[in-house]
Amino acid sequence: MASMRFAMQKAVHGTFISSHYLLPRTNTKIFSVRSFSAAMSPPSTAIFYDQQGPPDSVTRIIEIPPGEIKENDVCVRMLAAPINPSDINRIEGVYPVRPPVPAVGGYEGVGEVHTLGSAVRGLSLGDWVIPSPPSSGTWQTYVVKNQAAWHKIDKETPMEYAATVTVNPLTALRMLEDFVDLKSGDAVVQNGATSIVGQCIIQLARIRGIHSINIIRDRAGSDEVREKLKKLGADEVFTESELQVKNVKGLLANTPEPALGFNCVGGNAASLVLKFLRQGGTMVTYGGMSKKPITVSTSSFIFKDLSLRGFWLQKWMSSDKAKECRVMLDYLLGLAREGKLTYEMELVPFTEFKTALDKALGKLGSQPKQVIKF
C-alpha cells in the first residue's frame, strides 16, 4: 500500500519530498533539526486506473494523499471535465499517446485556483484556469501543475464550455483554417455532423459566411436532428440513404460545390464526402468512428485531383503553438459567452461518474457529451 501511495504521489503531484530532514549528530557538535515547510495540496479524489482495458472495468475512485506545491506550482480545484472518446481510448490502451499506468483519467477541463506557489505571478486565488495545452489527469478534485501549464480564462464563461473548449471546438477551428483558403461564399461538406466537432464546424463556418453540407446517419429521429442542425446554421443536411444517387451535386440547389470536406467516420460515409468535393478539393480525416477503411476510386485522384489529409490536434499542439493556441481558445470562449457557439452537453455530478461513463460508452443509447461536475 505504501508503494502504491508513493507511485500515485509521483504520478499526480510530482515527485514526493519529505518536509523534514534530520542532520546527523557528532561527538563534538550538535546540529539542530532543519525543517523545510512546504505548501501541500488537499487530498484529491480521483478516477484512477492501474492497468489498461475496458474503462468500466479498470477505473475506480480512490483518494490521493496531499502533494507538495513547489514555488512555481499552482494547485487547482477542478470544477468540470468531459469524458471524450480519446479519454476512453487512452484507458483502453489504443490511443497513440497515453500516460503510463498508474494514471488518473481525463485530458481537459476547467478549475479554480486554490493555492499558489510562492513564486507564482499573474494568477490570484479564485481565478478560473484551463490546462493549455491539455494534459492527462483532469478527472480528480485537485490538480497541481507548474504555472506555465495553466491558462487564465474569463469566469463569465459557462462552466461546461470552459471544460470542453480545447479538444473539439479547437479541432473544428484549425481544420477550417489550415487546409484550404476558404472565402465567404465557399462551401464545406462533412460527415459526423451531429458530433461536437461537426456542430462547431457548422457554426464557425456560418460566422465566416461559408456554407455547410452535412451528412448524418439514417436513424429514428433523423428529421429532428436535421432541424437542430439547420437551427445551428447548416445549409444542407442529408441522411446517407438520401445520397445513394448517381449525382449528389444535383441535390445542392444554390449551394456551391465544396472545396473542403471533413471525415470522422470512414467507410461509406467518407466516400459520400468525396463525391461532393469539387475539382481539386481536399478531404481531411480526423476520426474513424465506423472503424472501416476509406476507399478512394482511381478516378478521384486522376480526374478530380482530390487530396486526402489528416488532422490530429495533439500533434498540432505539440509544435510551437502555445501562445497562438491560447489566443484561439479565448476567441472560442468568447463565442460561447455570446451564444454564438453552442453544443449539447450534460453536466453530471462526480458522484454519478459510473452512469456518465456508461453513457459515454454508448451503453444507454445516443447521449449528449458527458461533463463531470466536481
Q: Which three cell numbers stand for residue 15?
A: 515527485
The catalytic residues are: 95
Total Cβ atoms within 10 A of residue 206: 16
| Secondary structure (DSSP) of 237-276 | EEETGGG-SS-GGGG-TTSPPPSEEEESSBHHHHHHHHHH
- Rounded to the nearest 10 degrees, the angle between the axes of helix 222-232 and helix 196-207 is 40
Q: What letter would DSSP give residue 102?
A: S
Q: Which three cell numbers stand for residue 356?
A: 456518465
Q: What letter would DSSP give residue 150?
A: E
Phi, psi of 307 (to 5 degrees): -115, 140
Return d(Cα 149, Cα 159) in angstroms, integer: 19
Q: Which three cell numbers stand for residue 293?
A: 477503411
Q: What letter would DSSP give residue 307?
A: E
Residue with cell 467507410: 267
Hey, CA dihedral for 308, 312, 315, 320, is it positive or negative?
positive
Q: What letter would DSSP give residue 13?
A: I
Q: Which three cell numbers stand for residue 236?
A: 444542407
Question: For residue 37, which amino acid is it?
Answer: S
At residue 296's C-alpha, the angle toward residues 291 and 301, to 5°, is 150
Total Cβ atoms within 10 A of residue 294: 18
Q: Is 111 helix (H, G, I), strand (E, B) or coil?
A: strand
Q: Which residues pair with 150 in a beta bridge?
A: 131
Return d(Cα 195, Cα 299) in angstroms, integer: 30
Hey, CA dihedral for 106, 110, 113, 114, is it positive or negative?
negative
